[in-house]
Amino acid sequence: MKPTLLILAAGMGSRYGGLKQMDELGPSGESIIDYSVFDAIRAGFGKVVFVIREDFAQAFKDRFEPRLKGKIETAYVNQSIEKIPAGFSVPEGRQKPWGTGHAMLMAKEEIDTPFAIINADDYYGKDSYAQAFGFIQNSKNNSEYAMIGYALKNTLSEHGTVSRGVCASDSDNYMTSVIERTKIGKEGDKIFFYEDDYKEELSGEEPVSMNFWIFKPEFFTHLENGFIEFLKKRGSELKSEYYYNVPANDMVQAGTAKVKIISTPAQWFGVTYQEDKPLVKAALDELHASGVYPKNGLWG
C-alpha cells in the first residue's frame, strides 16, 4: 500500500497578508503545493490529504482537483475551531484553531497508511520526498518515526523572525529532544531565538524541523490523547496552540518511540512574508531552467 502525504493548508497567512496556499509562484502559475504533490507522486506516494478551511474549501478544490485527477488519490478535510473532543468547549473570544496537532487530527479518518506531513507553504525539494518514501519502505516498527532535518541557518527569512523546532540527536541520528522556538531571527551574522525579554545565540548548524515528519497511523491515538491533556491544561487560553511534535517528543522522552533525523541536501524555502515572494519565484524559475522540473510546467 502506497504512503499518504498530509498537507496542512488551513493557515490564515496573517504575516503574509493572504492565502499563500494558492499563490502563483511557479513559471506556469504553480503554487508551492503543486511542487509538493508533484515530488510526492514521483517518489511513490499514492494519496494526498489536504487540511483546509471551510471558507475557501471550494476555491481550493476547484484549483487543485483538475490538476491532480487521475494522478493521485485526493481527500479534503476541514479544520475548524469547533472540532474538539466531547466535554470541552471553545472559550469565548478565541478566533483561531488549535495549531498543527489539531489540524493533523482532522485527517485521522482519511489515513490508514504510513504518512508524511508537511506545510502547504514550504518547498522541501525532490530529495526529501524520496528519503521519506525510502524510510517508510524500510521501517517496520510502528513506533519508529522520522523527521526531515535542515540546518537552521538554511531556513531563515531575511524579512523577519521564524518559528522552528530545534532538535538534538544521538550518535545514530535519533532525536533526543525537539523544542519549539517561536521566534528565531538574525542580527547581523548571528542567529538568536527570543522569548519575552530573553535571547540566546544559536550556531546555525542545529537540525531543525520544517514540519516535514513521517508517522505511522498508530500515532493518531497518542496525538488525540495529548490533545485532551492540552485542552485540560491550556484550553481556556485564547491563543494557545497544540503542536504535533509535542506528543512525539513526549514519546521519545518516555522511550516509547524513536524519531530518526534524516538529513537532506535538498533546498528549502518558504513564503512567510510577502517580501519572500520574489526570492521564491526566482528559485523556482531556476529549478525549471536546470531541469529539476519540466520546462513547460509541472502538469504539462
pLDDT recorded at residue 12: 53
pLDDT of residue 217: 97
- Residue 8 in this model has a pLDDT that exceeds 60: yes
Report yes or no: 259 and 248 within 8 Å, Cβ to Cβ: yes
The number of C-alpha atoms within 13 Å of 123 and in the hemisphere containing its C-beta is: 24
Three-state secondary-structure class, residue 56: helix
**Mean pLDDT estimate for the chain:** 91
**What is the torsional sign of CA 283, 286, 288, 293?**
negative
pLDDT of 198-249, one tens digit each? 999 999 888 888 889 999 999 999 999 999 999 999 999 999 999 998 899 8
3-state DSSP assignment of residue 179 = strand
Domains of the chain: 4-289 (3.90.550.10)
Angle at 137 between CA 108 and CA 180, to 5 degrees: 55
168, β-bridge pairs:
177
Q: Residue 279: what are its φ and ψ, rounded to 5°?
A: -65, -40
**Which are the contacts of 226, defined by CB distance < 8 A and separation ≥ 6?**
101, 242, 246, 247, 250
Q: What is the pTM of this model?
A: 0.89
Pairing state of beta strands 115-119 and 162-169?
unpaired
% pLDDT > 70, the chain: 97
Per DSSP, helices labelled H in the chain are 32-43, 57-68, 100-105, 126-138, 219-234, 245-254, 277-289
Would you state the pLDDT for residue 63? Answer: 92
pLDDT of residue 157: 78
What CA dihedral angle connects 83, 87, 91 and 96, to 10 degrees?
-20
Model confidence at 163, in pLDDT bands (50, 70, 90)? confident
Ramachandran assignment for 99, one of left (phi > 0), alpha (psi -120 to 50 degrees), beta (any other): left
Q: How confident is the model at residue 5 (pLDDT cuts 50, 70, 90)?
A: very high
Top pLDDT among 258 and 271 is at: 258
Q: What distance in Å separates the CA atoms of residue 25 and residue 99, rounded to the nearest whole number?
A: 26
Q: Are 293 and 287 in contact (CB under 8 A)?
A: yes
Mean pLDDT for 32-45 is 97
Residue type, 61: K
Sign of the dihedral defined by the CA atoms of residues 60, 41, 30, 119, in that order: positive
Cβ neighbours of 215 (radius 10 Å): 27
Residue 17 has pLDDT above 50, yes or no: no
